[in-house]
């Protein structure tokens, strides 16, 4: 079990159910590209002609071979393996297939808060009425999911992430960056394809994780967008060694214990509220989230396994409105807050079976957290795919961000070592490294934060010529000089330089030493009575 802590994060006002409305949102909602693509498809499941049951010609159809709707329950149950949750767009098709085609149907937000501005009584706790009181909630298994599959492009994405635990024994957390595409194994399904893992500032122990303030996340998100990627989820480890000699880990999570703890569900709900999905069918313009959760833990064979989840829209609402808290004695149980003078909390119920086999309705104090979970399969492809360059043959990868505590430093010497592994004419492959790009974009010493779009576009399009053109610019020339100045050996032209580097005129340095203060034209650091910059090491001239 991993205890998760966060320093604070903004949440968005969304999460929904279906109800009848009279109008669509006035403003046109800009949906995700994958949603636009799937909304244009009918999703019909075509069946072949049955030679035993079909007694008609090849151009005819009967009940035994007519295409099925994407939400057909029999098909979903008999599918191998069974599809537990229909896709989101199959769900849209289900409630819009009537004679009105969903014309008057609108997805409405779930609210656990009192409506503000009621003039018939004093504000809570002074009074409450049926007009402003939120309705009670009965938890139920969500029969659809926003993402149907999680696919890691190749094993080299997760190996560096796992190496942190192997080296320290401490748990690790990261954000998944990738894209959404159609998942053809599920009718109208969506797949989250993971291309990279970004590790934010954090403190980990063998049984806990704490996220630290991160001022670079917006820059990383902008960089990912320029690369054609976006944040699609988060991943965390919960690994406990079992047999060190065999390399096995303990199997801790299953139906008899828990799949996710209440704390992890609350964390997942908080992330999903931050990254909501635009939807033209919702009254608020937002509906649920495609943000996924991946847990790295021991499987039933005591090997490292990857399990994917999302939390339901009901869970998102409970987390958003601060109604759900964990319990102290059982990590698999959640607890709904009781109303106080500061906050009114509606009653939340769930259904269970008693010892006599009867279905009973119970108050969710406490409640099994499984009522809030939606399972999502996670896998690796048979043939690896690489958005970024594969690791070098010698296994020396560019250091991962925020690992200074174990001696992995992202500095200019690391950049020099990384570039030296590639031939001079393959600058595109050298720069196609997500962690290197993050370092270049977030380093305040470098003049690249506002000049990364052209490089990212070249990497996105695999355009070596455009990448070489960006290399010849003034900004990269400054980086080359800084790299040479920070090199352990004597400065010399590197494989990707396009001019002399590191030639320092001793006379110029002597003259510069007489100047009381000067501003470095490379990194803008203000120096005092020195011929070279104290920060980047480059000469004044």
Judged against a pLDDT cut of 80, whether residue 218 lies above it is answered with yes
**Domain assignment present for 460:** yes
DSSP state letters, 402-428: TBGGGTB--SHHHHHHHHTTS-TT-HH
Burial-class residue 119 by CB neighbours within 10 Å (0-12, 13-18, 19+): exposed
Q: Which residues pair with residue 374 across a beta bridge?
A: 310
Q: What is the mean pLDDT of residues 486-499?
A: 48
**Domain assignment present for 42:** no
Judged against a pLDDT cut of 70, whether residue 455 lies above it is answered with yes
**Using an 8 Å Cβ cutoff, are 121 and 141 in contact?**
no
Domain end position, chosen among 461, 487, 513:
487
Same structural domain for residues 443 and 369?
Answer: no
pLDDT tens digits, one per residue of 232-289: 999 999 999 998 888 899 999 998 899 999 999 999 999 999 999 999 888 888 999 9
**Domain assignment present for 498:** no
Same structural domain for residues 260 and 340?
Answer: yes
| 509 — pLDDT class (breaks 50, 70, 90) | very low
**Using an 8 Å Cβ cutoff, are 224 and 456 in contact?**
no
If one counts the domains in the chain, the total is 2
The fraction of the chain above a pLDDT of 90, given in percent, is 55
- pLDDT given at position 7: 57
Same structural domain for residues 166 and 299?
Answer: yes
Same structural domain for residues 277 and 409?
Answer: no
Distance, CA of 352 to CA of 367 (rounded, Å): 10
Q: Which of 527, 509, 508, 510 is nearest to 518 (CA)?
A: 527
- pLDDT given at position 12: 37
Q: What angle do CA 8, 368, 75 make, to 5 degrees?
A: 105
Q: Which of 307, 306, 298 is nearest to 158 (CA)?
A: 306
Burial state string for 252-280 with b = 16 or more CB within 10 A and e = fewer than 16? ebeeeebbbbbbbbbbbbbbbbeebbebb
Distance, CA of 400 to CA of 160 (rounded, Å): 8
Same structural domain for residues 268 and 184?
Answer: yes
- pLDDT given at position 496: 54
How many residues in total does the chain contain? 541
* Least confident piece of the model among 64-68, 205-209, 388-392: 64-68
Contacts for 21 with CB less than 8 Å, ≥ 6 apart? 104, 105, 106, 108, 283
Distance, CA of 475 to CA of 448 (rounded, Å): 6
* Least confident piece of the model among 26-40, 290-304, 412-426, 517-531: 517-531
- pLDDT given at position 491: 39
- pLDDT given at position 225: 96
Same structural domain for residues 194 and 288?
Answer: yes
- The strand pair at 144-145 and 86-87 is best described as parallel
Out of 14-18, 230-234, 347-351, 441-445, give the one with best mean pLDDT: 230-234
- pLDDT given at position 127: 87
Whole-number CA gyration radius for the chain: 28
- pLDDT given at position 529: 55
- pLDDT given at position 525: 65
Q: What is the mean pLDDT of residues 523-534?
A: 66
**Domain assignment present for 103:** no
- pLDDT given at position 482: 84
DSSP state letters, 133-176: SPPPEEE---SEES--EEEES-GGGTHHHHHHHHHH----EEEE
| 96 — pLDDT class (breaks 50, 70, 90) | confident
Same structural domain for residues 263 and 329?
Answer: yes
pLDDT tens digits, one per residue of 58-73: 788 888 888 888 998 9
Domain extent, residue 225, equals 138-379
Distance, CA of 317 to CA of 135 (rounded, Å): 13
Report residue 441 as tokens. Answer: 């974009």
To the nearest whole number, what is the mean pLDDT of the chain?
A: 85
Helix (H) or strand (E) holding 106: strand 105-109
Judged against a pLDDT cut of 70, whether residue 498 lies above it is answered with no
Q: Which of 312, 302, 225, 295 is nearest to 258 (CA)?
A: 295
pLDDT tens digits, one per residue of 401-436: 999 999 999 998 999 999 989 998 899 999 999 999
Same structural domain for residues 415 and 356?
Answer: no
Q: Coil, strand, or helix at residue 295? A: strand
Q: Coil, strand, or helix at residue 208? A: strand
Considering only residues 54 and 465, tell me which one the structure prediction assigns the higher pLDDT.
465
- pLDDT given at position 19: 45
Report residue 124 as tokens. Answer: 């809570």
**Domain assignment present for 142:** yes
| 354 — pLDDT class (breaks 50, 70, 90) | confident
* Least confident piece of the model among 31-45, 113-127, 401-415: 113-127
* Least confident piece of the model among 21-25, 196-200, 339-343, 449-453: 21-25
**Domain assignment present for 44:** no
**Domain assignment present for 17:** no
Q: What is the mean pLDDT of residues 218-234?
A: 96
- pLDDT given at position 16: 47
**Domain assignment present for 320:** yes
What is the DSSP code (8-state) at residue 131? Answer: T
Judged against a pLDDT cut of 60, whether residue 386 lies above it is answered with yes
Same structural domain for residues 245 and 343?
Answer: yes
- pLDDT given at position 11: 36
Same structural domain for residues 343 and 416?
Answer: no
Judged against a pLDDT cut of 90, whether residue 441 lies above it is answered with yes
Judged against a pLDDT cut of 90, whether residue 3 lies above it is answered with no
Same structural domain for residues 304 and 155?
Answer: yes
Q: Which of 81, 43, 78, 49 is nearest to 63 (CA)?
A: 49
DSSP state letters, 267-285: HHHHHHHHSPPB-TTBTTS
**Using an 8 Å Cβ cutoff, are 151 and 157 in contact?**
no
Same structural domain for residues 320 and 468?
Answer: no
- pLDDT given at position 485: 80
Judged against a pLDDT cut of 50, whether residue 26 lies above it is answered with no
Distance, CA of 82 to CA of 76 (rounded, Å): 6
Judged against a pLDDT cut of 50, whether residue 22 lies above it is answered with no
| CATH classification at residue 156 | 3.40.140.10
Q: What is the mean pLDDT of residues 174-178?
A: 98
Contacts for 322 with CB less than 8 Å, ≥ 6 apart? 337, 343
- pLDDT given at position 506: 33
Distance, CA of 430 to CA of 408 (rounded, Å): 19
| 17 — pLDDT class (breaks 50, 70, 90) | low
| 489 — pLDDT class (breaks 50, 70, 90) | very low
What is the DSSP code (8-state) at residue 372? Answer: G
């Amino acid at each position: 079990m991993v205890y998760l802590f966060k320093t604070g994060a903004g949440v968005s006002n969304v999460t929904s159910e279906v109800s009848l409305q009279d109008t669509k949102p006035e403003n046109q909602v800009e949906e995700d590209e994958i949603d636009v693509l799937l909304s244009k498809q009918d999703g019909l499941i075509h069946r072949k002609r049955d030679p035993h049951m079909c007694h008609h010609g090849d151009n005819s159809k009967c009940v035994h071979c007519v295409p099925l709707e994407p939400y057909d329950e029999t098909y979903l149950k008999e599918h191998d393996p069974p599809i537990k949750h229909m896709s989101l767009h199959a769900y849209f098709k289900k409630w819009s297939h009537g004679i009105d085609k969903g014309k008057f149907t609108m997805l409405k937000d779930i609210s656990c808060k009192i409506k503000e501005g009621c003039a018939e009584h004093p504000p809570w706790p002074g009074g409450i009425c049926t007009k402003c009181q939120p309705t009670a909630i009965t938890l139920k298994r969500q029969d659809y999911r926003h993402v149907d599959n999680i696919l890691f492009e190749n094993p080299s994405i997760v190996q560096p992430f796992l190496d942190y635990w192997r080296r320290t024994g401490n748990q690790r957390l990261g954000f998944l960056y990738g894209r959404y595409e159609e998942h053809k194994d599920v009718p109208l399904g969506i797949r989250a394809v993971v291309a990279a893992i970004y590790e934010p500032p954090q403190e980990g122990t063998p049984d806990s994780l704490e996220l630290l303030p991160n001022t670079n996340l917006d820059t990383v998100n902008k960089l990912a967008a320029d690369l054609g990627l976006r944040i699609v989820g988060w991943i965390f480890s919960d690994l406990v060694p079992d047999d060190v000699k065999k390399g096995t880990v303990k199997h801790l999570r299953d139906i008899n214990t828990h799949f996710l703890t209440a704390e992890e569900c609350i964390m997942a709900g908080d992330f999903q509220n931050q990254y909501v999905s635009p939807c033209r069918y919702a009254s608020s313009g937002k509906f649920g989230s495609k943000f996924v959760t991946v847990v790295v833990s021991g499987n039933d064979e005591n090997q490292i396994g990857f399990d994917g989840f999302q939390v339901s829209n009901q869970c998102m609402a409970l987390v958003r409105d601060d109604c759900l808290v964990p319990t102290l004695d059982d990590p698999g149980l959640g607890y709904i807050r009781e109303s106080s003078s500061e906050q009114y909390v509606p009653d939340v119920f769930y259904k269970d079976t008693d010892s006599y086999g009867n279905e009973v309705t119970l108050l969710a104090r406490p409640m099994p957290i499984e009522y809030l979970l939606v399972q999502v399969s996670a896998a690796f492809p048979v043939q690896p795919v690489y958005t970024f360059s594969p690791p070098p043959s010698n296994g020396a990868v560019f250091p991962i961000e925020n690992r200074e505590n174990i001696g992995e430093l992202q500095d200019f010497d690391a950049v020099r070592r990384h570039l030296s592994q590639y031939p001079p004419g393959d600058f595109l492959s050298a720069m196609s490294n997500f962690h290197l790009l993050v370092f270049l974009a977030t380093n305040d010493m470098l003049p690249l934060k506002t000049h990364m779009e052209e490089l990212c576009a070249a990497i996105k399009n695999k355009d070596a010529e455009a990448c070489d053109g960006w290399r010849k610019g003034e900004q990269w020339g400054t980086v080359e000089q800084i790299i040479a100045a920070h090199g352990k050996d004597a400065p010399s032209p590197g494989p990707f330089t396009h001019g002399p580097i590191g030639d320092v005129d001793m006379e110029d340095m002597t003259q510069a030493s007489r100047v009381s203060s000067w501003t470095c034209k490379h990194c803008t650091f203000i120096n005092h009575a020195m011929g070279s910059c104290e920060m980047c090491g480059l000469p004044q001239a």
